[in-house]
Structure 1
Amino acid sequence: MKKVLSFIILGLFLVACQGKDEPVIAFYYWKTNFSLSAFEKETLKENTVDKLYIRYFDLDLHSKTKEVFPVSPIHFSEIPNIKNIVPVVYIQNKVMLDQGFNSAQLAQKTVDFIALINSKNKLSCQEIQIDCDWSLNSKRNYLQFIEDFKRISHKKISATIRLHQVKYFEKTKIPNVDTGVLMYYNMGTIAVKSLNSIYDQGIASRYIKSLKKYPLALNIALPIYSWGIHISKGKVIGLRPKLTGSDLEKSAEFTRVDENKYEVKRAHYRKGIFYKVGDYIKIEGVSAADLREMAGDLKGNLAQSPIEIIFYDLDSLNIKNYDKTIFKQTAAGF
């Protein structure tokens, strides 16, 4: 009898030690033209990526006609050589706030336009993702849209979830989707004196403990992008995407004046933007250490382990800033 009990205890111990599988790695693709560089294809191969979340189009509201229309639909210069494609539709919150909002009609048009893009490019999908930062004022329309979209599309539906929607879910409610994707970035305010609007552990700590109570299964979206905040005469005048400190270090027109701040020393145009003498660029980004920190913090607070870690976004300009092992390292941290 003692031997039997010993084998049972040993078996339970071995099962416990095996733990759960690591989450798989996926990426968002957020350009209007689908065409992968050799470096991007290599990244997908090295990380055994078989799923891409591709932004298909945005939905916006015409200021005069109040008609909802698609913005910058995706063009496929090449067909994705990947197992699973997930169309992502970004919906401006003002669409949901419109007094003439017609949920069923918009859901049907959205489904039809996705189908048109797929048909034109001989693509198919099993899942569609809706990206919308809905508010208390728009939640009724948004939640109804999700219901209609799910009914009409007959697809698996995922939705992006922001930190504030997790913490206050009893007020903001939870969309009837199969899976949520926690967008663990864009946490702060884009301002002259803010720390890092993309990722701030201090801001995240105000929300992250609420994850254990959140009823919807969540995958995690993490940032690998950077940008420059263009400051002139003490005011923010624009965002300069996919800009890094190393980019400005190589430029004779800028000089570094702080850890992440660069001053314009010579007036010039850069990618169609005019920079005056005395302007500043404040660089914000996410380091490899930040990504590992995010994984550790989330692991200790999630109600259940995520199935996927989705990096935003697949672009050589982003990927070049990291060691090629960072994606597997981050996923392993969960």
Structure 2
Amino acid sequence: MLKFSKAEKEVLNENNVQKLYVRYFDIGLHPESDFPIPISPIRFQEKPKGYTVVPVVFIQNKVMLQANLDIENLAQKTFDFIEQINFKNKISCQEIQIDCDWTLKSKENYLKFIEVFKKLSKKKLSATIRLHQVKYFKKTKIPNVDSGVLMYYNMGSIAPDSLNSIYDQKVAERYLKSLKRYPLHLDFAFPIYSWGVHIRENKVIGLRAKINSAMLGKDPNFEKVSSIFFRAKHSNYKNGVFYEKNDLLKIEEIKAEDLKEMAEDLQDNLVEKPNEIIFYDLDEFNLNNYEKNIFEQVISCF
């Protein structure tokens, strides 16, 4: 659902934001038929007046792994559904973004989908790009899009260890030099979200959204056992989730200094400047973790 809070509107106005990347729907597989279906389509509770809207569609990689995938049909239905949402909400868009973490096994279907979708839509087309797709682009190939958005986050595996899966400078360093050889223009997307990795008996049992250290530090049901780990003192419910006594929450969050570090590292490895810096995602809970001018500070690095 799209609806802006007062704080979200203030941040958009203060930073002179003119373009919003809006997740329209995901595409997954029907659990019984393995047929591609739209998941959680957006509802506009508020019209994004005064903003350029770019619909974003996330396609699960398992869809592209289907051996008998009808690519023309999928591209047509994807475009038609975007157009339906636009028509219903009186939105005109000039660009569409496809988000898919394609792999070597799914690349043929994915690249063909992009080709078909581009011809159908007759719009500017952008695609999300992961770090591994930059470094190994000769194997993973480059989609036929007008530009890419490098998702500079979700770099590691979600695990019960002490590493941050959202951002790790040491992991990023393995890929940064490859940027100078990547032939597609890239804009950058930075993370401004946090989550809790729910661990029970040293096994990850889920990700818990909209949780950070500050919140857990005030919760009498949890005790801080290290800079990132909190333990449930007794069995309890939080945000509708049940925690057993001794369950752990590992907090993975991005601080202001992380964002500046990311921008500086990218700047040192650029061939050309990005046209846009995107922050993911616009949410009052996320925005409350940062000083007001953090976005200006990050953008000024470029």
2:8 corresponds to: 40
Match of 2:72 among 104, 108, 131: 104
2:108 maps to 1:145: no
SS in 2 for 1:205: helix
Residues 56, 114 of structure 1: 8 Å contact kept: yes
AA at the equivalent of 1:118: N
Deviation at 1:81, TM superposition (A): 1.9
1:125 corresponds to: 93
Q: Distance in 1 between matches of 2:182 and 2:162?
A: 29
Q: Distance in 2 between matches of 1:140 and 1:214?
A: 20
Deviation at 1:194, TM superposition (A): 3.9
Structure 1 residue ranges without an equivalent (≥5): 1-32
Give the TM-score of the pair, scaled to structure 2. 0.99
2:265 maps to 1:297: yes
Asked which structure has the greater RCO (Cα within 8 Å, sep 6+), the reply is 1
1:172 corresponds to: 140
2:274 maps to 1:306: yes
1:209 corresponds to: 177
Residues 188, 194 of structure 1: 8 Å contact kept: no
Q: Percent same amino acid at aligned positions? A: 59
SS in 2 for 1:231: strand
Deviation at 1:65, TM superposition (A): 1.3
1:192-231 → structure 2 map (5 Å cutoff): 192-231=160-199
2:217 maps to 1:244: no
Q: Distance in 2 between matches of 1:87 and 1:230?
A: 32
Deviation at 1:302, TM superposition (A): 1.7
Deviations 1:291-310 (A, max 9, x none): 00000000011221001000
SS in 2 for 1:34: coil
Match of 2:245 among 266, 274, 277: 277
1:319 corresponds to: 287
1:259 corresponds to: 227
Structure 2 residue ranges without an equivalent (≥5): none
Deviations 1:104-140 (A, max 9, x none): 1111111100000000111110000000000001101
Match of 2:122 among 154, 163, 178: 154
Q: Distance in 2 between matches of 1:271 and 1:131?
A: 29
Give the TM-score of the pair, scaled to structure 1. 0.89
Deviation at 1:60, TM superposition (A): 0.6
AA at the equivalent of 2:82: I
Deviations 1:151-170 (A, max 9, x none): 00010000000000000000
Residues 267, 277 of structure 1: 8 Å contact kept: yes
1:46-125 → structure 2 map (5 Å cutoff): 46-125=14-93
AA at the equivalent of 1:325: N
SS in 2 for 1:59: strand
Deviation at 1:326, TM superposition (A): 0.2
Query: How many aligned positions are there?
Result: 302
Deviation at 1:63, TM superposition (A): 3.1
- Ranges of 4+ aligned residues in structure 1 off by more than 6 Å: none
AA at the equivalent of 2:112: Q
Q: Which moved more, 1:290-299 or 1:192-201?
A: 192-201
Q: Distance in 2 between matches of 1:100 and 1:238?
A: 32
Q: Distance in 2 between matches of 1:262 and 1:305?
A: 40
Deviation at 1:266, TM superposition (A): 2.2
Evaluate the alpha carbon distance shift between residue 281 and residue 197 of structure 1 in structure 2; reply closer, same or farther with a 3 A threshold.
Answer: same
SS in 2 for 1:258: coil
Deviation at 1:66, TM superposition (A): 2.2
Q: Distance in 2 between matches of 1:62 and 1:92?
A: 12
Question: What's the Cα RMSD here?
Answer: 0.7
Deviations 1:38-97 (A, max 9, x none): 000000000000000000000011132121110000000110123310000000011111
AA at the equivalent of 1:96: M
Please say which structure displays the higher CA radius of gyration.
1
Q: Distance in 2 between matches of 1:144 and 1:239?
A: 33
AA at the equivalent of 1:292: K
AA at the equivalent of 1:247: M
